[in-house]
Structure 1
């Protein structure tokens, strides 16, 4: 992961499949600049970047931010040709693993997720996600944290899909009580859980700490099911933590998740429990 990013964008990682797209955008940027009669150095001065940065973007070595393309389109009088790639670059700037996960989530018709350490990423507020990334060791640079948080928030478009997928979350009680980022951050996070929990296609359940039997002792579980009957899943304590997709392996995870759901509080009681935790803050 590149930590030398600045406001112009991020370096393209070797072997990344988005490299051809970034190169094409870079060539278009150069064509527009030359058509406007501007040298790279002059264009950089107007945009607030050095000539070397402009050259890197034109060579496809640096992913330009959507905001950069928006302003460049105006400066170079590109008539919308650069702005047309803003959404593509918005997706391209996210880490490869996040793009791959977002693609899977975008195709899933059902998601099953058990979290035992923190609130699941799809349920996180920007402040909560930022607090988590700020605790990463070794420390991440501010620009990398911004990139990771932006990518995580972009995945939440899954809640706006039509038809909507069925989303099931089971959260350990401790994840609702540990104040990552402070009590104000936790308060907004719990309020977000209550809002999302009201959606008809979303089920949020709480696993009380006092439970004497617990099928989730082997850790995190995530499963995604697709319309063709296939799926993919992962658990920290099964299959060496590797993603699995065979019917047999998925059945093991599904049985384990089903038991976790049965042992957790029902959805209505879970939302009431979250309200109680919120009221104590």
Structure 2
């Protein structure tokens, strides 16, 4: 069992330089926007971003995506200045990407080797299935609060983990999510809508099955809380759990066997994958 060192932000090598780069690029975006006579809202509308996102980029609080910088360069006639900056940003993102918090590194290494991952989630969508904005909301809401650089680093790291869904051969991923998770508007209605759309898209992958445990379920085997089961390549299945500031990798065969039996029962009580997708699509329609 390990206790998270969350009293202060991480300070990985090179993090200050990366943050300085993002702030400098943000100032360049602001200067180009003002020279072009556009408001933050107008620039957002022309590039597919919200006004708040443009503001965050200009203040260096949000990672400027290379595609965004290239689009702004063309839109505002920057002569390739922001397009070149996009290359620097991409390199900086790669340098930061795999710096997991120390307490999470053991799990992240096992997850990267997994041939099967099983999630049971009661409060949020599993990190491996989250959108960028949803993940940012989760980290921003943390208490004690994280500084902006740490939030952006953790968002980038979480998104980088999701690359295993596209590798070959991909791991088999099953996730049972409480219906209440889908109803809670984490980040606001637009962020939650984007997350639901993402779940629908993921559910169509051959290696991903998403099931919803309905509110109407009067009693179920997961009432003791969320957990993860994963099977690293060439190794035995193990479990992982987090509770407040404590995280634990579970290797005892009897405990893992109990979690696996519990997960099987939960899946049996949840909606089938097709019915779960239909429910998510219904929520989108509403």
Root-mean-square deviation (CA, aligned residues, Å) is: 3.1
Alignment-derived partner of residue 188 in structure 1 = 194
Higher relative contact order, chain-length normalized (CA < 8 Å, sep 6+): 2
Structure 2: unaligned runs, 5 residues or longer? 1-5, 25-90
Tell whether the 8 Å contact from 1:112 to 1:222 is kept in structure 2 after alignment: yes
Q: CA deviation at 1:236?
A: 5.6
Q: 1:170 to 1:223 in 2, by over 3 A?
A: same
SS in 2 for 1:230: coil
Q: CA deviation at 1:98?
A: 4.0
SS in 1 for 2:218: coil
Tell me, yes or no, if structure 1 residue 174 matches structure 2 residue 180. yes
Q: CA deviation at 1:160?
A: 1.2
Q: Within 2, Cα distance between the matches of 1:6 and 1:93?
A: 7
SS in 1 for 2:158: helix
Deviation per CA, 1:53-111, whole angstroms, max 9, x where unpaired? xxxxxxxxxxxxxxxxxxxxxxxxxxxxxxxx978733453323344333211111111
Alignment-derived partner of residue 162 in structure 1 = 168
Alignment-derived partner of residue 259 in structure 1 = 265
SS in 2 for 1:219: coil
Q: Within 1, Cα distance between the matches of 2:211 and 2:119?
A: 10
Matched length: 211
Q: TM-score, normalised by structure 1?
A: 0.67
Q: 1:86 to 1:228 in 2, by over 3 A?
A: same
Deviation per CA, 1:190-243, whole angstroms, max 9, x where unpaired? 000000010001000000011012110000110111232412203468xx9632
Larger Rg belongs to: 1
Q: 1:139 to 1:4 in 2, by over 3 A?
A: same
Tell whether the 8 Å contact from 1:169 to 1:203 is kept in structure 2 after alignment: yes
Q: CA deviation at 1:147?
A: 1.0
SS in 1 for 2:256: helix
Q: 2:276 aligns with which of 270, 273, 279?
A: 270
Structure 1: unaligned runs, 5 residues or longer? 12-43, 49-84
Q: CA deviation at 1:254?
A: 0.1
Tell me, yes or no, if structure 1 residue 234 matches structure 2 residue 246. no
Q: Within 2, Cα distance between the matches of 1:9 and 1:189?
A: 28
Q: 2:129 aligns with which of 123, 126, 136?
A: 123
Alignment-derived partner of residue 206 in structure 2 = 200
Q: 1:217 aligns with which of 210, 220, 223?
A: 223
Q: TM-score, normalised by structure 2?
A: 0.66
